[in-house]
Structure 1
Amino acid sequence: MGVPASWIVAFLVSFGAYAILSDRQTTPPPTLMQPAQVVIAMVCVAPLSQLDGATVVGYIVPTVLALVVTLAVCAAAAFLLYRSGAASAVSSLLATLAGGASGMTVLAAELKEDVRFVVLTQYLRMSLVVLTLPVFVHFFAGGGDEFGGGTSADGDAPAWWDPGLHPALGALVIWAAVWVTVRLTRRVVTLPVPYLLLAMLLTWVAGLAGVPDQWLRPEGLVLVLAYAVIGVQAGGTLTVSALRQFSHSLPLILSAVAAMILGAILAAVLIAYSSGIPLIDAYLATVPGGIYAVLAFAHDAGSEPIVTVVQVMRTLAMLVIGAYLPTVIGWWGRRRHT
């Protein structure tokens, strides 16, 4: 069917159907998720080490524009949920901030907010975003076989069942080194989603240090397995029981998710028009959620590094905003009563 990251879509659909039909949630254990996150981080950050200063400066305006539009749409969706009585102001914002569903879930628990509501909204958003990615990728690419600003990654990569021996071994060594380093340092270097952000930082440093590019891009069965794990995470979280529990809020939640996707399309059109970035790359850079799946799509579609830059910056910004939400809302409430 010519769908980039087709392994993600296949496992998302399969395990999504299983979760709904059996009413059983399927969540990959950390022992699978963490290595898969490192693989996705490596294949998507490797091109960043080849960027020059002028290209990086050219990414500033699209990044700021994407952040502003995303935050505005998320705030509007949260206001809709809050005013309808679906959840508190903080829970509504945590449920709609498009940046790291797992991080927002942790924040909801730490802030003693409605964790179930946040989990349902975040993972419903992520599932719908990832499930609609093939449609928008095909549409924004003009229905052609080539995606983004470059050549489709699948065209240059070896078959997944027969990767080159030396590149595969080199990538396996680098992956193991990155994974072990992240595990040893994640408690010292307190970053959100460390298996994504720290792995990206280490891969970028390795590229600058002269490690061969093909060693920084895991291919073959390793990449397929990582895609499969991300697909299970995106599709296996939604059950009939969870949807039934919030059935009264479900139309509002779906409306909020639809508004966020439309906001991403608007931001993509503005970025493509103002910067000359291909529309498909602009959409992948601004799509609200499912960062691992989006980065995998960008890698398979041969997209420009702008996708990785904007997605990572948005995730960081949203996690920081989420952490300071109670302080901001408390300050606003005191100001209104004075």
Structure 2
Amino acid sequence: MALGAVCTELGVPASWIFAFLVSFGAYAILSDRQTTPPTRLMQPAQVVIAMVCVAPLVELDGATVAGYVTPTVLALVVTLAVCAAAAFFLHRSGAASAVSSLLATLAGGASGMTVLAAELKEDVRFVVLTQYLRLSLVVLTLPAFVHLFAGGGDTGSGEDTAGDADSVAWWFPEPRSVLGALVVWGVVWLLVRLTRRVAKLPVPYLLLSMLLTWVAGTVGVPDQWLRPEGLLLVFAYAVIGVQAGGTLTKSALRQFSHSLPLILTAVASMIVGAIVAALLIAHFSDVPLLDAYLATVPGGIYAVLAFAHEAGSEPIVTVVQVMRTLAMLVIGAYLPTIIGWWGKRRRN
């Protein structure tokens, strides 16, 4: 908790996930003992993450979203192609299974992919290592690329807004908003729990929660009620951080040490792919290059939205980033089915 508070003050993106990941990662490495949160904590945390991911979409009108169809499609196509190539590279090299390799490289939210890996019973440690290396490299290189694509202009440091994007006044949030978000969260969690077996969707506490949150926003539920703040948000990030960090034992790091060069190469190729996607979007639409890059950068959504706010381009960045996250989560959830169908087709 102390590390999370310090990281928030310093403007570290995803500070609470980072704090618990580092703390429990250090414990796992020093003790060589894995820590996994119980299901009764993971499921409510997934509902909170789903609400946070979907809430930005509710604010935008249909005309605005329609204007972003072309950039979104281009970003999805290029990102999927790059992720598939990186996953194929990792799988063929023997680093992990096909599903684990794809989950490790899909640029749609490290926390979401970690949850999917656990739900699908894939190699969580490999997915965590690759996803958080990607997140770290993207966030570290983001200021340089923003400066470059802005033509060397001053876009602002983004430090304060990065902290705000992750956790706004977590120690003393607005009581009415917190109460409303708590009620919506409870209703969504209960509805998912009652309908998850009927809907038969993979990772229902993510996908069904996203759908229900979007429906709640469209029927008039206040926007601030769809955005959990305060300790509820800290709790969700803490649980995901524990799950992510608690898997990185000494044995796991030793096991994947030979794969680190391959993983770093795959992550670098994803960043290059984002630059290619940004160039294509800027060429085929009226979107500026900086906005296009912020919309397609593979990871660090909190830092990305902070820089987008500084540059005055938040709407397009929000739409493309959230739509990409949703698309990657859906694709990730159905990966075993997709790969099984593809393998059967090749054999025939």
TM-score, length-scaled by structure 1: 0.78
Equivalence for 2:212? 202
Check conservation: 1:38, 1:196, Cα contact below 8 A.
Answer: yes
Between the aligned partners of 2:49 and 2:169, the Cα distance in structure 1 is: 18
Report the CA distance between 1:212 and its aligned residue.
Answer: 1.7
| Structure 2 unmatched runs, 5+ | 1-9, 148-154
Of 315-324 and 6-15, more deviation after overlay is shown by 315-324
Residue 103 of structure 1: which of 104, 111, 116 is its match? 116
Indicate conservation of the 8 Å contact 1:179/1:199, yes or no: yes
Paired with 2:143 and 2:329, the residues of 1 have a C-alpha distance of: 25
**How far apart, in 1, do the equivalents of 2:82 and 2:167 lie?**
37
Higher alpha-carbon deviation: 57-66 or 318-327: 318-327
- Conservation of the 8 A alpha-carbon contact between 2:45 and 2:239: yes
Question: 2:207–2:330: 8 Å Cα contact kept in structure 1?
Answer: no
Q: 1:240 to 1:152 in 2, by over 3 A?
A: closer
1:77–1:196 CA distance, 2 compared to 1 (3 A): same
Structure 1 segment 114-125 matched on structure 2, within 5 A: 115=122, 118-125=123-130
- Name the structure with the higher helix share: 2
Q: Which residue of 2 aligns with 1:112?
A: none
Indicate how the Cα distance of structure 1 residues 275 and 181 shifts in structure 2: closer, same or farther if over 3 A, else same. Answer: farther
Q: What residue in structure 1 maps to residue 172 of structure 2?
A: 162
Matches of 1:275 and 1:17 in 2, distance apart?
A: 46
Q: What is the CA-CA distance between 1:51 and the residue it aligns to? A: 1.9
In 1, the alpha carbon distance for the partners of 2:303 and 2:196 equals 27
Alignment correspondent of 1:53: 62
For the pair 1:6 / 2:15, whether they are aligned, the reply is: yes
Moved more, 268-277 or 222-231: 268-277
CA distance in 2, matches of 1:155, 1:106: 28
C-alpha distance in 2, partners of 1:155/1:94? 25
Report the AA paired with residue 168 of structure 1: V
Superposition RMSD in Å: 3.4
Q: Report the equivalent of 1:126.
A: 131
Q: Contact 2:138–2:271 (CA<8 Å) still a contact in 1?
A: no
Q: State the alpha-carbon separation in 2 of the partners of residues 280 and 231 from structure 1.
A: 30
Which of 4, 22, 32 is equivalent to 1:23?
32
- Pick one of 156, 160, 163 that aligns with 1:144: 156
By how many angstroms is 1:86 displaced? Answer: 4.4
Distance 1:61 1:250, change over 3 A: same
Separation in structure 2 between the aligned mates of residue 59 and residue 180 of structure 1, nearest angstrom: 34
Q: Does 1:186 align with 2:191?
A: no
Q: Does 1:79 align with 2:84?
A: no
- 1:256 maps to 266
Post-superposition shift, 1:241? 0.7
Distance 1:299 1:226 in 2: 20
Structure 1 pair 243–47 and aligned structure 2 pair: CA distance change class (3 A):
closer
Aligned-residue offset at 1:177: 0.8
Alignment partner, residue 327 of structure 1: 341
From 325, 331, 334, the counterpart of 1:311: 325
Q: CA deviation at 1:286?
A: 4.7
Change (3 A) 1:280 1:60: closer
Query: What TM-score comes out, normalization by structure 2 length?
Result: 0.76
Q: Which residue of 1 aligns with 2:186?
A: 176
Stretch moving more, 31-40 or 176-185? 31-40
**What is aligned with 2:75?**
66
Aligned residues: 318
The superposition leaves residues 59-94 of structure 1 with CA deviations (integer Å, 9 ceiling, x where unpaired) of 322222222222222332233234434456666556
Unaligned ranges ≥5, structure 1: 110-114, 289-293
Distance in 2 separating the partners of 1:327 and 1:213: 40
- CA–CA separation in structure 1 for the residues paired with 2:336 and 2:107: 10
Q: C-alpha separation between the residues in 1 aligned to 2:166 and 2:250?
A: 41
> Quick one: distance in 2 between partners of 1:93 and 1:84?
13
Q: Distance in 2 between matches of 1:145 and 1:198?
A: 36
- 1:218-268: CA deviations, max 9, x gaps? 212222222222222333322221232344444323322332343234434
